[in-house]
Every structure is written in structure tokens, then in C-alpha cells.
Chain A
Amino acid sequence: MSILVLAEHHDGALAGATAHVVAAAQAIGGDIDVLVAGENVAAVAEAAAKLDGVAKVRLADHAAYAHLLAEPTAALIAELAGDYSHVLAAASTTGKNVLPRVAALKDVSQISEIIAVESPDTFKRPIYAGNAIATVQSEDALKVITVRPTGFDAVGEGGSASVEAVEFVADNAQSTFIKEELAQSDRPELGAAKVVISGGRGMGNGENFKLLEGIADKLGAAIGASRAAVDAGFVPNDMQVGQTGKIVAPELYIAVGISGAIQHLAGMKDSKVIVAINKDEEAPIFQVADYGLVADLFEALPELEQKL
């Protein structure tokens, strides 16, 4: 068996999610190649070559792959897929955009967001917003799979894989990149943070999210939000934790003013320790919280910041 992993990268740096996907590939077993596609991504390829367990890095460095638009990137992977039994990518917005297109080009099914590998053709994945776990078996010769990064521990560094250039250049006549507006943040990335503190509708407004910042700074935490807080316009949507936002599984998740709707729980209930601060003691979040504090967040947050 041989496995191709699509590398995830941002701003010329390899993203942490890739090391989790390589771990999933190791669980499947076989030779693991990493595909680095993009424009001016030699540094990404070097970083990928250092990941434990990687046999070879295939580097497709060309303007056609800038911003990893779905059409050229899927065409590239479909071109390379013949050499492999499995194609894996992180279940990020990039992986979710590109891989189903690859699967259909190869006339095979895709298995989305696996959280465990049972055997090279059998996987576990959450369905119904994480309220059930399905075990599924693929009979396709080529398995196309997206991996939920929080389901697998990242591999370390210490490898020294060779880097080999890919000559194939995909046509990209149908789609054009116009612009990107990325939210600026000095805090750790939400999906990779060890500690996450999230605010919900109970925060009242966007200004009050400042109450979370001091605590986040002291704990080295990322700040998240519930869908209610995003829909109310308190914070931008890339902060959303939930079925339709980011899936996180930090060591510590602090939910502040969040009721705990199914949609939100789907994004955070695999956290190691969950703390809920809510003034409504009947809020469903207390059913999953290891430590619950029934209190007014406007009193509890400043006190918590001071005592940390």
C-alpha cells in the first residue's frame, strides 16, 4: 500500500494539520508520500520532508496551484493518484473543497472526517453532528479520505525524506483567485490550541469579548465563539466552533455564556476538560462540563483573570 497526503500550508509555512494526517496515514500503514502543491512552496516541502514517517515529498510548485483552487489541485491529485491506494487530506476547508472533486474524477466514494482507522479499508467517522459514530468500509480500489486532525496525535519531526518535483501542470481556465481577507490574530490557531476559551450569546456584544482576551493571554489560549455569537455579529465567523465551524479538541475548553446546543457540542465535546460558566444552571452545557460554575460571566471573568 502507498498513501498520498496533501500538505496543508498557509503563508509559506506547513500547517500543523498535516502532521496529524500523516499520523492517520501511519495508522493505515504503507509508504507515505506528501504532496506539496502551491506557488513558491519550497520551504513547505522542506518542512514536510522532516515529518516522521514520510518516505518522499512530491513538490508541485507552479502558479497554477497558487491558493490551491479546487479545479487545478484536484486535477493534479487525480493525475498522481494512480500510484497510490489511499489519498488523504485534512478535513480543513482546503481538503473538503478539493478531495471530493478528486474522488469523483476517479469515480470512487470519499470517506469524510475520519476519527479512527480500524483497518486499511474500514474507518470510524461521526455523523449527525457527532451524535453517532459510524463504522464504514470502502470497497473502492482507491480510498479518498479526509481526516479530522483532532482524531489523531501529530507525528514528530526527525525524518529526512527526499523532495521530488512534479512536472504535471493542470489547466486552470475556469476559476480565478481574486482576494483573501484573513482575520489577524497573534493567538494560537483555534484548531491547534491546547486551551480554548469561547464566548456565546451571553457575552451580550462584541466589545465584551475583550473580557476573554486577558484570560486567553494568561493561558496561551485561542478564542472561539458559538454560532449564536457569530450570527449576532459579535465576532467573525472563522472563530465559530461547532458542526458548521471548527472542530476542536483542546486540553481545556472554557465555554462562557454558551447554552450548549447540539451544533456547538459537535465542535468541542472531545475536549479533555470542559469548563462551563453560565448563569442559567439548566443550560445543557452543564451536562458535558467537567466543572460548571453558575455565575454571572461579567463578575466571574474579571475574577478568573485576576486569579490565574
Chain B
Amino acid sequence: MKVLVAVKRVIDYNVKIRVKPDNSDVDLTNVKMAMNPFCEIAVEEAVRLKEKGVATEIVAVTIGPKAAQEQLRTALALGADRAIHVETDERVESLGAAKALAKVVEAEQPGLVILGKQAIDTDNNQTGQMLAALTGLPQGTFASEVVIENDKAQVTREIDGGLQTIELTLPAIVTTDLRLNEPRYAKLPDIMKAKKKPMDVKSPSDLGVEVASKVKLLKVEPPAERQGGIKVGSVDELVDKLKNEAKVIS
């Protein structure tokens, strides 16, 4: 079975972001970028499926500027066999990304597509579900366990209040939650080998899709600052402040 994994280049999760002074967007110049953490989990799951003999080939795909090829190389170093880069400098949102991915799914015919549950930049949590809708495939979102057996995928999902297990007919779309696995690090020899693995570069027009965002970003602002607080010296003082100053307990 072929597994398709979608990855996204995002700001490194440790970076403290800054909003541009003109409030047009977040400032990404000279900021460390990396693979979205949920996408790392998606790649890891695909590699584990290959190690178990379930997956036969892993294809990594991304949509974005030329620099996003770095993240595809990372996926290749982690165990993906080849990569597809849909190159665009447009601001792409979930629907555009899902449309491009749907064309890749149509061409590649994977048995399983794995995505992260959300990207840590836009925090949208949409692309996997939209891809499932556009391809007419079932979806297993927020997966913390995936078992492939007899042309079915049993997916355990993290839901509010606990866990839910569903069974999907393959092909299917799965999005990863944090506890699905612990991603491995790429080893130096694998990073070297990854440079020779095939990477197919396409434009959105090659795929016949329009990826530019239809949602206008009018303004980006820093969140309201919290008032600086005080340190209390004892539990007594804390209880007193909560009762008499903040009045949040009685």
C-alpha cells in the first residue's frame, strides 16, 4: 500500500513570534523554520507502517515556496521514498491546500493519506477534513492509534472527554494527534542519502488548481497584554488576596 504524507513548513515552535509594525502579518524574516510538529508525527507513522510491512512506498508532499523543499528533504531523511513539491509563493489556506492535495491523491492513488491535525502557525485544523471531503474518502481525525487490517483502518481518536475508536474503509485520510507516536530524529547518513531521493516539482497550474487564499487577512495584532501581577509571600496572603482583592473565591 502506498502512503501519502503531507508536511508543512512553519515557524519553529520554540520561536517567540513578533507581529509586523504595520499589523499586516507576523514577521517571518530571519526566523527559524521547521517541519510542523504534527507533520513530523505523520511522517513517523508512515515510516512505522513501512517498517511493519503495511506500507510499500511513502510519498511526502508539500505546498509552498521553494524553501519548503527543506522540509521535504527532512521527510526523505526520515524514511519517505520520494517527494512532490507543489511550488507557489501565494498565501495558501486550507481549502487551496486540500484542492492541490486532492489532485495529488487522484494521481498517486495512495491507500492511506496521513496529515497533522493542525499547523501551529494558522491553527486551522481543516486541511485533512477538507481533503477527505474533496476525495470522497472517510476521515480519522486526531488519531492516537492507527491499526491497518483487511483493507480497513481502525483509528482511535482523541475526543473531548476521552477516546473514540472508529473503523474506516480504505483508502482513508488520517490526521495525527500528539500521542500517536514519538517522532525519530534524522541520522546524518540518511540526511546525505535524502539528497539523492527523487523530488518532483509541480506548479498549482500543472495540477489545474487555484490555491490562492479566498479569506482576506485584514489585520494581525498582538494579543492584549496581561497586567503585571504580584508575588505573595505565603498561602495565607494568597487566600486573602483571592477572597478580598480578586474576589474570585468566597
Task: Tell me the A residues contacting B by CB distance below 8 Å.
Answer: 10, 67, 69-71, 74, 92-94, 96-105, 107-113, 122, 126-140, 173-183, 191, 195, 219, 227, 230-231, 236-238, 243-244, 246, 251-252, 262-263, 269, 272-275, 281, 286-295, 300, 303-304, 307-308
Chain B residues bordering chain A, tally (CB within 8 A): 77
Which residue of chain A has the shortest Cβ distance to B161 in the bound complex? A182
* CB closest residue in chain B, given A303: B235
Question: 14 other contacts beyond A93-B141, A93-B158, A175-B167, with CB at 8 A cut-off?
Answer: A93-B159, A97-B142, A98-B129, A101-B133, A109-B93, A109-B94, A131-B16, A174-B169, A177-B166, A182-B163, A238-B159, A262-B13, A291-B242, A308-B249
Contact surface of B with A, Cβ cutoff 8 Å: 11, 13, 16-17, 19, 26, 93-95, 98, 120-134, 137-139, 141-142, 144, 154, 157-169, 172, 177-179, 213-223, 226-232, 234-236, 238-239, 241-242, 246, 248-249
A-B contact count (CB 8 A): 249
Q: A128-B26, A131-B223, A174-B168 are in contact. Are A274 and B229 (CB under 8 A)?
A: yes
B94 near A243 (CB under 8 angstroms)?
A: no
B17 touches A132 (CB 8 A): yes
Task: List, in ascending order, chain B residues with CB within 8 A of A231's CB.
Answer: 178-179
Task: Check if B129 sits within 8 Å of A100, measured CB to CB.
Answer: yes
Q: Which of A10, A127, A181 is in CB contact (< 8 Å) with B26?
A: A127
Closest CB-CB distance, A253 to chain B, in whole Å? 10
Q: Which of A174, A178, A272 is in CB contact (< 8 Å) with B248?
A: A272
Q: Is the CB of A178 within 8 A of B223?
A: no
Question: Cα distance A173–B138 when bound, in Å?
Answer: 9
Cα–Cα distance between A109 and B234 once the two chains are bound (Å): 51
A10, A173, A175 pick with most chain B CB within 10 angstroms = A175
For the complex of A and B, the 8 pairs showing the least CB-CB separation, nearest first, are A100-B129, A104-B133, A104-B130, A174-B138, A182-B162, A100-B126, A290-B229, A135-B219
